[in-house]
């Protein structure tokens, strides 16, 4: 029967092995024999305390003596207890076995093999893997533990190769075998790597909230938290690739999935104006026959930007507007739209007159709002409304405007 080692005993052996693996002796750079020692309070911080439980002190010392009796450590005593705990070099192999730990060089080689196995057709993944291989060959630790790294690499490769809409929990089951593990542990890590190694600066312009940025990034790879729809409302004709034509009218909104959007060949708008709307409540409230309305939900991923570009190609004669929250984020969404599509969007219902008119419904600006407002001012954009917001420290949600203006 294999002996059972306590938490304190394993903690000591772990620290001694860590010291050894981080030493010049391990790297073969030392000319003298090193000793590796740990003071007791590094294992149990109460050991030297005057208030430590005497029974726990006795138990701790007994456990250390057990390790000494097994030839794993040597104890140096002083007048009132243990002074230090020193590794026995001949016992290193036994310590690795007790801890179930792989020796660092062997582990580094296994990690290199892992990263080399993911080198291939994806430049982003290649750059990350080469960075990790370089770190390991220089004697540094990889960015992630091996088991975690393997899951991250599998998730990343899945995203890069995915061509169909998939929900986040479906992705989690497909790669990790657990519907919630992606969101709990891996989503943020993978998205941070995408931002670091990918070219998404323009796509993520002005987006500070991490979860919002994650949604946009994942949208580039057809991954959504819930089924994604684009809503249309207004007089128009939609031509599909199979030759079918769908006539839309102003009082009947329709919603299409990503799969259906890909089958659209073109949209001919029969209204003089086009308006993209940030929030679904306002989209349903608006009913001006002079407008064709689109709801795409907040910031837009590449697929939605391409859809807008295709609509614009056939409808450049229309006037293009965006209606969003009267806050700095709402104006950053307009800038995001313009940068991503090249369409000359103009804000509508988003000037100081509406902030004054519905002052009773305004909310205070937060620090992040003020920082974004100052950024837009520095860029020479939306000066009057940004100055008003900063001076009054107020912002307004678009739902109050659409409700009050469309009664």
Q: Hey, which residues does 127 pair with through a beta bridge?
A: none
Express each pLDDT in 107-121 by its tens digit: 999 999 999 999 998
Give the list of residues 6+ apart from residue 130 with CB closer than 8 angstroms, or none: 115, 119
pLDDT above 60 (res 201): yes
Are the C-beta atoms of 297 and 369 separated by less than 8 Å? no
Give the model confidence (pLDDT) of 327-366 as tens digits. Answer: 999 999 899 889 889 999 999 999 999 999 999 999 999 9
Query: According to CATH, what is the number of the domain 229-405?
Result: 3.40.1360.10
Q: What is the mean pLDDT of residues 19-40?
A: 87
Sign, Cα dihedral of 331, 326, 301, 259: negative
On the question of pLDDT at 122 being above 80, the answer is: yes
Determine contact, residues 85/40, Cβ cutoff 8 Å.
yes
What is the maximum span of the chain, computed from C-alpha positions, in angstroms? 94
pLDDT at 302 over 80: no
pLDDT in tens, 357-370: 999 999 999 998 99
pTM: 0.69
Task: Note the pLDDT of residue 5.
Answer: 95
Q: In what order do the strands lie in the sheet with 37-38?
A: 37-38, 81-87, 73-78
Q: Phi/psi zone of residue 234: left (φ > 0), alpha (ψ -120 to 50 degrees), beta?
A: left
Structure letter (DSSP) for residue 4 = P
Which top CATH class is 7-99? mainly alpha
Report pLDDT digits (tens) over 215-256.
889 988 989 888 778 999 999 999 999 999 999 988 889 999
- In the chain, domain spans: 7-99, 104-223, 229-405
Q: What is the per-residue pLDDT for 206? A: 73
Distance CA 46, CA 49 (A): 5
* Rounded Cα distance, 177 and 170, in Å: 9
- Give the rounded percent of residues in the chain with a pLDDT score beyond 70: 99
- Write down the pLDDT at residue 1: 55
Q: What is the pLDDT of residues 271-286, one digit of tens each?
A: 999 999 999 999 999 9
Instruction: Report d(CA 246, CA 79) in Å as an integer.
Output: 92
Q: Nearest to residue 87, comparing CAs of 150, 142, 21, 36?
A: 36
Return mean pLDDT, the chain. Answer: 92
Q: CA-to-CA distance for 58 and 252, rounded, in angstroms? A: 79
Q: Residue 304 pLDDT more than 90? A: no
pLDDT tier at 257 (50, 70, 90 boundaries)? confident
Pairwise CA distance, residues 176 & 156, whole Å = 12
Token readout for 340 is: 């991503």
Residue with tokens 């912002």: 395
pLDDT at position 299, please?
Answer: 66
pLDDT of residue 204: 82
Check pLDDT > 70 for residue 292: yes
């Amino acid at each position: 029967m294999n002996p059972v080692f306590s938490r304190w005993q394993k903690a000591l052996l772990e620290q001694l092995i860590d010291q050894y693996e981080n030493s010049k002796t391990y790297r073969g750079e030392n000319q003298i024999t090193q000793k590796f020692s740990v003071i007791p309070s590094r294992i149990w911080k109460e050991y030297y305390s005057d208030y430590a439980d005497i029974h726990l002190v006795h138990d701790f010392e007994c456990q250390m003596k057990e390790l000494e009796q097994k030839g794993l450590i040597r104890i140096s005593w002083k007048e009132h207890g243990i002074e230090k705990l020193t590794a026995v070099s001949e016992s290193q192999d036994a310590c690795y076995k007790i801890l179930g730990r792989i020796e660092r060089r062997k582990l580094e080689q296994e990690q290199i093999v892992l990263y080399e196995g993911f080198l291939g057709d994806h430049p982003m993944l290649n750059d990350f893997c080469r960075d990790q291989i370089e770190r390991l060959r220089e004697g540094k630790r990889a960015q992630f533990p091996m088991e975690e790294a393997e899951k991250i690499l599998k998730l990343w490769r899945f995203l890069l190769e995915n061509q169909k809409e998939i929900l986040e929990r479906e992705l989690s089951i497909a790669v990790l075998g657990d519907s919630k593990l992606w969101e709990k542990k891996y989503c943020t890590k993978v998205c941070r790597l995408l931002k670091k190694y990918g070219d998404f600066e323009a796509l993520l312009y002005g987006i500070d909230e991490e979860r919002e940025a994650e949604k946009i990034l994942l949208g580039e790879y057809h991954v959504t938290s819930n089924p994604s729809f684009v809503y249309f409302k207004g007089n128009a004709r939609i031509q599909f690739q199979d030759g079918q034509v769908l006539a839309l009218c102003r009082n009947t909104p329709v919603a299409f999935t990503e799969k259906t959007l890909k089958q659209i060949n073109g949209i001919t708008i029969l209204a003089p104006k086009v308006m993209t709307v940030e929030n679904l409540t306002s989209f349903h409230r608006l009913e001006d026959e002079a407008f064709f309305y689109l709801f795409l939900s907040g910031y837009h991923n590449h697929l939605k930007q391409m859809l807008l570009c295709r609509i614009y190609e056939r409808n450049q004669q229309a006037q293009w507007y965006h209606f969003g929250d009267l806050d700095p984020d709402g104006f950053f969404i307009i800038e995001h739209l313009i940068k991503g599509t090249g369409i000359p969007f103009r804000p509508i219902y988003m000037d100081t007159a509406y902030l004054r008119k519905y002052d009773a419904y305004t909310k205070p600006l937060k620090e992040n709002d003020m920082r974004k407002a100052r950024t837009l001012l520095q860029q020479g954009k939306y000066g009057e409304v940004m100055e008003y917001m900063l001076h009054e420290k107020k912002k307004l949600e678009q739902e109050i405007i659409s409700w009050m203006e469309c009664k």
